[in-house]
Amino acid sequence: MKQLNKQVEEVEFLEDKSSSGKMRDWSGKKKRNLSLSEIYRMIKESYRKIHSEKFNRFLNREERCRMCATILKYKRDKNGKRTLYEAYFCQLRLCPVCNWRRSLKIFSQVSKIIQAIEQDKEHAYLFLTLTQKNVSGEELDKMLDDMMYGWNKFMKYKKVKDVVKGSYRGLEITYDKNRIITKKMYQEKKDYYKKLGLKIGDKNPNFDMYHPHFHVLIVVNKNYFTKNYLKHEEWQKLWAKAMRLEYLPQVNIKKVKGNTAEAVAEVAKYSAKDSDYVIEKDLDLSMNVVETLDYVLQGRRLVSFSGIMKEWHKKLNLDDAEDGDLINIDTDKDEELEGELKLETYAWNVGYMNYVRV
């Protein structure tokens, strides 16, 4: 027993803090990653039974996902500052670890780009959300094609081109996993449910529907609000036209408040909510959603830069935000290490469900 206690005492867990002192939630993300790997395994097994060729695809997914970020190698300086210098990331579109790293990376890239643009103090920033009706899993792939096509058309309209000097565009797909209307859902959209004559506990009409939408950060000239101003209805009509919709879609446009690069970059976050598709309470449903999203996201570009933002992305020599390096995400400006460096390795430990120093 004594022996065991001694061993326990000697275990050193990973404590990775950002320069602002915030603890990075590696173990939380890794646990979600393992849940996803387990869902991939279950999908694989379902295909093994029917001798489907898809078996191999999901065998590969399961393994790749499980191997993601199992070993983290850090350099540590005399002040205890750490930077990651070696790790394997699976790069799967749905991986909770990789998506977290991507979102940190995009935040850092957009911050740097906005900082560069802000030098001349000639710009202002808008946050635009472009949506359309929810779709089923079967309709999702076609809808994403339409949205990508619609986006390119939208950006070529004269009214848009006159206003938009640069942009960051991210695709987000949310999924409605609630079979019934919960109290929280009802409180958030009371009018909507009332109109449909629905109450808490009723069947959720949007259950199993996907909601793909674009989050867009737009750079405009400072005089936009006095000279080239586009009203909300105009943005809405332009998006409806680009998408050939027979209804007016929900479109949201607002000025970005706060003028620091970080405040601006905040709205550009790369968001993929793993809680939408890693559904531990409902694994059958989870298998369906993961397979659907895995299929439709394969090979798609989820983020893109245009205009002045694209130019600065190139000038600043930033790499691909999605498929690029996830080790040096460069979130911290003052992460330069000082003095003699020590190398430290942490490995994922299935017993502790945490990263342990080895």
d(CA 7, CA 341): 27
d(CA 358, CA 353): 15
Cβ closer to Zn ion: 40 or 193?
40
Q: How far is the CB of 311 from Zn ion (least distance, A)?
A: 31
**Residues in a beta bridge with 128:** 216, 253
Cβ closer to Zn ion: 90 or 117?
90
Q: What are phi and psi of 221, to 5 degrees?
A: -70, 155
- Which residue, 27, 122, 116, 46, is CA-closest to 291? 46
Cβ closer to Zn ion: 64 or 310?
64
Residues making contact with Zn ion (CB under 5 A): 68, 89-90, 95, 97-98
Q: How far is the CB of 26 from Zn ion (least distance, A)?
A: 12
Q: How far is the CB of 91 from Zn ion (least distance, A)?
A: 6
Burial 168-180 (b: 16+ CB within 10 A, else e): bbbbbbbbbbeee
Cβ closer to Zn ion: 52 or 275?
275
Q: How far is the CB of 168 from Zn ion (least distance, A)?
A: 23
Q: State whether the Cα torsion 323-142-273-71 is positive or negative.
A: negative
Question: Which two tokens mark 117?
Answer: 């643009």
Q: How far is the CB of 304 from Zn ion (least distance, A)?
A: 22
Cβ closer to Zn ion: 98 or 265?
98
Question: Which two tokens mark 125?
Answer: 């920033």
Cβ closer to Zn ion: 68 or 251?
68
Burial 223-238 (b: 16+ CB within 10 A, else e): ebeeeeebeeeebbbb
Q: How far is the CB of 35 from Zn ion (least distance, A)?
A: 13
